Amino acid sequence: GEHGRVLLRFSLDPQLHSLPLGRGQEYVLSPRFIDPNSRTLADRLQQDARATTLGDAPATRPLSVRLMREHPATFRVTAPAPPDAASAALDEQLRSLFPLTPSQEELFCLSRQNAVQCVNGPPGSGKTYFSAALICRLLVRALLVPGAVQRVLVTAFTHAAIDNLLNKVAELLGGRAVLAFAAEAAIELPVPRKFQRDDSKEFTVGCEVQHTDADTDAGRYYVEEIRENGFLIRPVGGGGEQVVGASEIRRWRAFSLLSTDKKQQQRLEDELRRRVLLLGCTCYQTPKVRESLAAKFDFLLVDEASQMLLTHLSMSLPLLQDLRPPVPGRPPGRLMVVGDTKQMGPLLAEQYPEAADGLPPVHASVLRWLAGRALAPLRRG
């Protein structure tokens, strides 16, 4: 325009902004980062708030509200009835296929009695193996029981945490003894799946990769050097090196991807109808899964829960079967949060005061809040 000026016309949503703009006043426009997930998160919390009446029975409130207000012990369910001979024999087979230490075995039994279970331990304590073995037992058991349903959802704040756990599950299911057992029992072992658009093309020295056209869990290489013309890779088990382009390789994974592309919508819906299913997705992706979900999940495992806020978890909770069985014969849902309370918590840009009304502070992680309450005395009445 004239005199080096530019005329801008814009409008503000009065429900979102209350900025008093005045004619003739000067303003500075600057780039601003906007989290595209904030609106989804706010909508989820508003839905839970609208569905909540404190005078209602606690069991009718949204699970996100119940986790904030109720002691974890109130989610305890009746201990399972003593198994019959066939069920006991099956449990013994699963214990031999996916063995646990005595303390892990005790924790596994508790997870069958508690609708909400915390698993807290330092690095190297076996949290990933325990989580993977527990999932394997749940899935294989459902395959061997006619008509049984076991749908497991694994969520976390990062893709790396989900990938690590799904790869461990695939490793256990691919064990020689497990494969022999499945062949003898004539069952098809499930393939862990992850809800993700495509494979990451970010490669660093030392990361494990595979060729893009390779089958799942085949052809593992590690990146030895990054060159101008591509990546120098070498087989993990030793062998000749080769130089490949970024389009020829992908991050190594022992699970398959369920694309978020709308063109693959039908395949996604078909996969989500399986009665035995293991799916991984980040907390921000769960609203997309809900759009295609034909039935809810029976077991929700939150990994690296010390890094996830309660508000983030609220997006995944609607995918979980009710903690009390709504349908006779259908087991109630189960929630397990896994992490390390001494690990660095969520990174926040501001300082927030501690809540004084008995509710969790806005900066509380899922694990720190639930584990802290589980260790606190339960107040009756």
Q: Hey, how many other C-beta atoms are within 10 angstroms of the C-beta on 381?
A: 2
CA distance linking residue 207 with residue 120, whole number of Å: 28
Backbone angles phi, psi at 278, to 5 degrees: -125, 120
Is 366 within 8 Å of 302 (Cβ atoms)?
yes
pLDDT of residue 33: 55
pLDDT of residue 291: 66
Backbone angles phi, psi at 265, to 5 degrees: -60, -45
pTM of the model: 0.80
**What sections of 75-114 are H helices per DSSP?**
85-97, 102-113
Signed CA dihedral, 128, 129, 131, 136: sign only: positive
CA angle 110, 374, 119 (to 5 degrees): 50
Three-state SS for 227? Answer: strand
Sheet holding 249-251, edge to edge: 242-244, 230-235, 221-227, 208-211, 249-251
pLDDT per position in the chain (381 positions), as tens?
Answer: 455 667 777 666 665 556 667 777 777 766 665 666 777 787 887 888 787 776 667 667 788 888 877 777 777 766 666 778 888 899 999 999 999 999 999 999 988 888 888 898 888 889 999 999 999 999 999 999 988 889 999 999 888 899 999 999 999 999 999 999 999 999 999 999 998 776 667 788 888 888 887 665 567 898 999 988 889 999 988 888 889 988 888 888 888 887 766 666 677 777 778 889 999 999 888 887 876 666 789 999 999 998 888 888 888 988 888 776 555 556 778 999 999 988 877 776 667 777 666 677 777 788 888 887 765 554 433
pLDDT of residue 280: 94
Tokens 């198994």 locate to 83
Largest CA distance in the chain: 90
Is 213 within 8 Å of 220 (Cβ atoms)?
no
HEC-encoded secondary structure of 143-207 = HHCCCCCEEEEEECCCHHHHHHHHHHHHHHHCCHHHHHHHHHHCCCCCCCEEECCCCCCCCCCCC
Length of the chain measured in residues: 381
Sheet holding 150-155, edge to edge: 116-120, 334-339, 299-302, 150-155, 276-280, 193-195, 256-258
Three-state SS for 247? Answer: helix
Is 196 within 8 Å of 186 (Cβ atoms)?
no
Q: What per-residue string of b and e applies to 57-70 under the rule 16 or more CB within 10 Å gives b? A: eeeebbbbbbbbeb
pLDDT of residue 47: 83
Q: Hey, how many other C-beta atoms are within 10 angstroms of the C-beta on 311?
A: 19
CA neighbor of 331 nearest in space, from 117, 165, 166, 112: 112
The alpha carbon of residue 380 and the mean position of all alpha carbons in its chain are separated, in whole angstroms, by 33
CA neighbor of 142 nearest in space, from 277, 256, 268: 277
